[in-house]
């Protein structure tokens, strides 16, 4: 099969129908006992061969071919698993490739955690491996030069508490881009701390910006699944004077657009129940009011029904003037009756929320069984709320719950 693919590449042939047709024969148990290779013109019995194929996503695999396979989903790694993999496999491999020994360089686990949280954002460890390679190359240069550079003061020891405080602090530190030399300590082994990381890898690529982005009404955090693992997704809403139009931006697919229209319809029908009003004080939320929903990272295409509960929460925050809890993320499909339906990718989404430091996760009640796939140490750090309807979602997303005006209260107010 590899010969087929390389032939296509060499001939610059973009039509891979022949290759897919060959895979049909190879993977079909009714045909692969007499497979004939057209390149060698020799028959092979492949009925006893176990084929293992990998893909980032099943969306691009032809349905007929996918039907001949048994799909096994491989979720992303937790932070603890990444640290273990790094110190058992990645770091020893990079040390060997760069001619270094453990007596020359030490990378503490707190430094590895810093790299994972601030320099890589992935389900696997490929980027993490490259970061270790960059560190080893920098140290190898220092060792080859004789290691005569001066050291920075007060860098004798780094504790786990110091590293965690550094991870949590705001990224307002001075730039080190103009530092001419790497500030590595002269003694052996060389200890890689977060100061050395900034010298070698540059300023952190990712910051924990959750609390900063949830400082005003009309913002909520959702959970999304991508071929590279789970991701947190912000949803932002604003209202302005207009003619009752709903504007959606952020490279959205048709399914997500329908979820947005569904969310605003449900809120309009329940506006009096939740005492939601627009800027002019009307329960008709679109009365002389335009609504703009934006999904940041506009260059990335987004689709799927799982953002329904997030859109409802975002709009409820906008019209009530209340802030959504800064430690909560959610996922789930909604119906016009306010029910919350199950979605896929729960494990990857939960791991993404855990990486982002979120503590409360709202998921559909029918997805509760999927929590068994998540490691116990991750589950212990999180508070899961299972919801079967949007009433439960809103109560969990806001501090103090989300008050409902019952029919009896409405009757008493009339009397």
Angle formed at CA 347 by CA 345 and CA 352, multiple of 5 degrees:
95
Please report which confidence band the pLDDT of residue 155 belongs to, taking 50, 70 and 90 as the band edges: very low
Q: Indicate the helix (H) or strand (E) that contains 191.
A: strand 190-191
Residue count (the chain)? 415
Measured on CA atoms in the order 300, 305, 308, 310, is the torsion positive or negative?
A: negative
Mean pLDDT of 234-257: 92
Please say if the pLDDT value at position 158 is more than 60.
no
CATH node for 79-201: 1.10.8.60
Q: Which of 145, 129, 157, 132 is nearest to 182 (CA)?
A: 145
**Catalytic residue (one of 259, 306, 317, 326):** 306
Enumerate the β-bridge partners of residue 233: 222
User: Who has greater pLDDT, 265 or 121?
Assistant: 265
Domain ranges of the chain: 2-66, 79-201, 210-414
Note the pLDDT of residue 176. Answer: 35
3-state SS class at 92:
helix
Distance CA 24, CA 62 (A): 10
282 is catalytic: no
Residue 171 confidence class, pLDDT cut points 50, 70, 90: very low
| Structure confidence at residue 150 (pLDDT) | 42
- In this prediction, residue 183 carries a pLDDT of 52
Task: Report whether 313 contacts 394 (CB < 8 A).
Answer: yes
Catalytic residue (one of 131, 198, 302, 349)? 349
Q: Which pTM was predicted? A: 0.73
Which comes out higher in pLDDT, residue 188 or 168?
Answer: 188
Mean pLDDT for 208-230 is: 79
Distance CA 329, CA 309 (A): 10
Residue-wise DSSP of 94-114? HHHHTT--TTTEE--HHHHHH
- 210-414: CATH architecture: 2-Layer Sandwich (3.30)
Higher pLDDT, 60 or 38: 60
Nearest alpha-carbon partner for 324 in 411, 218, 177, 196? 218
Residue 219 confidence (pLDDT)? 93
Query: Is the predicted pLDDT of residue 153 greater than 50, yes or no?
Result: no
pLDDT > 70: what percent of the chain? 81
Q: Where are the alpha helices (DSSP H) in 48-102?
A: 63-66, 79-85, 91-97
CA 391, 396, 399: angle at the middle one, nearest 5?
Answer: 120
pLDDT at position 25, please? 79
CA distance to 38, 151, 163, 195, per residue, from 154 (Å):
69, 9, 15, 11
pLDDT (0 to 100) of residue 41? 81
Residue 344, judged by CB atoms within 10 A of its CB (0-12, 13-18, 19+), counts as: middle
Measuring CA to CA, which residue among 356, 296, 302 is closest to residue 328? Answer: 356
Grade residue 91 by pLDDT with cuts at 50, 70 and 90: very high
Q: What is the mean pLDDT of the chain?
A: 82
pLDDT tens-digit readout, 42-73: 888 888 888 888 887 787 888 888 888 899 88
pLDDT in tens, 357-414: 899 999 999 999 999 988 888 899 999 999 999 999 999 999 988 877 665 454 444 4
The string of pLDDT tens digits covering residues 2-15 is 545 555 444 455 55
- What is the average per-residue pLDDT within 170-194? 56
Mean of pLDDT values over 269-286: 86
Round to whole Å and give the CA distance between 237 and 222: 13
pLDDT of residue 17: 67
- Is 349 marked active-site? yes
Q: Are 333 and 342 in contact (CB under 8 A)?
A: yes
**pLDDT recorded at residue 44:** 81
């Amino acid at each position: 099969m590899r010969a087929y693919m390389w032939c296509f590449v060499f001939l610059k042939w973009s039509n891979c129908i022949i290759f897919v047709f060959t895979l049909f024969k190879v993977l079909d148990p009714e045909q692969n006992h007499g497979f004939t290779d057209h390149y060698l013109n020799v028959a092979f019995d492949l009925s006893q061969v176990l084929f293992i194929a990998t893909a980032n996503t099943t969306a691009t695999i032809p349905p007929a071919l996918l039907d001949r396979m048994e799909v096994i989903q491989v979720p992303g790694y937790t932070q603890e698993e990444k640290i273990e993999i790094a110190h058992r496999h990645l770091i020893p491999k990079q040390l060997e490739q760069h001619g270094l020994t453990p007596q020359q360089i030490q990378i503490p686990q707190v430094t590895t955690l810093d790299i994972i949280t601030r320099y890589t954002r992935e389900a696997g460890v490929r980027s993490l491996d490259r970061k270790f390679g960059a560190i080893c190359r920098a140290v190898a240069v220092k060792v080859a030069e004789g290691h005569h550079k001066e050291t920075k003061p007060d860098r004798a020891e780094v504790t786990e508490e110091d590293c965690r405080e550094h991870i949590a602090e705001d990224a307002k530190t001075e730039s080190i881009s103009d530092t001419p030399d790497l500030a590595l300590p002269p003694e052996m082994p060389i200890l890689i701390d977060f100061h050395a990381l900034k010298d070698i890898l540059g300023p952190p690529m990712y910051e924990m910006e959750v609390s900063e982005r949830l400082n005003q009404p009309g913002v909520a955090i959702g959970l999304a699944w991508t071929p590279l693992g789970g991701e947190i997704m912000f949803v932002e809403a604003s209202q302005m004077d207009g003619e009752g139009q709903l504007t959606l931006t952020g490279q959205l697919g048709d399914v997500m657009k329908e979820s947005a229209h569904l969310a605003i319809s449900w809120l309009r029908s329940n506006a009096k129940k939740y005492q939601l009003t627009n800027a002019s004080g009307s329960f008709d939320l679109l009365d002389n009011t335009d609504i703009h929903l934006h999904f940041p990272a506009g260059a990335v295409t987004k689709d799927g029904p799982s953002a329904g509960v997030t859109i409802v929460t975002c709009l409820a925050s906008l019209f009530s003037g209340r802030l959504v809890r800064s430690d909560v993320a959610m996922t789930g499909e909604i119906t016009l009756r306010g029910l919350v339906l199950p979605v896929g990718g729960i494990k990857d989404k939960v791991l993404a929320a855990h990486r982002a430091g979120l503590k409360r996760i709202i998921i559909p009640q029918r997805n509760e069984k999927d929590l068994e796939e998540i490691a116990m140490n991750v589950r212990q750090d999180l508070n899961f709320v299972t919801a079967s309807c949007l009433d439960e979602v809103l109560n969990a997303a806001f501090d103090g719950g989300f008050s409902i005006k019952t029919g009896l209260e409405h009757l008493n107010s009339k009397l």
